[in-house]
Homo-oligomer: A and B are copies of this chain.
Amino acid sequence: MAQSITRQSTELRMSTFRLARRLRLENTDDDLSESQFGVLAVLNRFGPHTLSQLAERERVTAPSMNRTVNFLQERGYLRREADAADGRRSNIVITPEGAVTVRATIDKRDAWLTSRMRDLTLEEREALAAASLIMDRLASE
């Protein structure tokens, strides 16, 4: 019989935090934190966003995102472009250096997780891929 939904949600929450901690551990010699990389990857894949849009997508507050964006801007990985129609906004755009960094970071960082995932069966990988989509939907509510 299936577990109760409560039990499933407890398990999912604990597994999510454990995996997040394990992944963070694997990053230590990286120059981008998980949050920083996440922003750059979104810009690279989905194009320019405003600060609020990034904050909402990554599930953090605007001040947190502002800090992350400042860091990435100082490194030259993105730039703020003034919005022609609304002086309060700026459009945040990845730079060529940022795009190169996304690619290099994926290659480097995914060594660990990708290699672990290669040891899984096809079915297990597909279960994780399906779960990723559902997790994003859960997070966006």
Contacts from A to B (Cβ < 8 Å): 2-3, 5-6, 8-23, 25, 34-35, 38, 41, 58-60, 106, 109-110, 113-114, 116-118, 120, 122, 124-136, 138-141
Chain B residues whose CB sits within 8 angstroms of the CB of A6 once the complex forms: 106, 110, 114
Give, as a whole number of angstroms, the nearest-CB distance from A112 to chain B: 9
Partner of A20, one of B8, B17, B122, B127: B17
Number of identical protomers: 2
User: Contact between B134 and A10 (Cβ–Cβ < 8 Å)?
Assistant: no
List 6 A-B pairs, Cβ < 8 Å.
A6-B110, A9-B117, A15-B131, A17-B23, A18-B136, A18-B139
Q: Is the CB of B130 within 8 A of A19?
A: no
CB contact under 8 A between A132 and B15, given known A59-B22, A138-B113:
yes
**For the complex of A and B, 7 pairs with smallest distance between CB atoms:** A131-B131, A22-B139, A15-B132, A9-B113, A15-B135, A21-B59, A20-B20
Supply 5 further A-B pairs (C-beta < 8 A) apart from A12-B131, A13-B23: A2-B125, A8-B128, A10-B110, A12-B129, A13-B110
Most buried by B among A19, A59, A124: A19
The answer on a CB contact under 8 Å between B20 and A132 is no
Considering the chains assembled together, what is the distance between the CA atoms of A136 and B10 in angstroms?
A: 13
CA distance A20 to B59 in the complex (A): 9
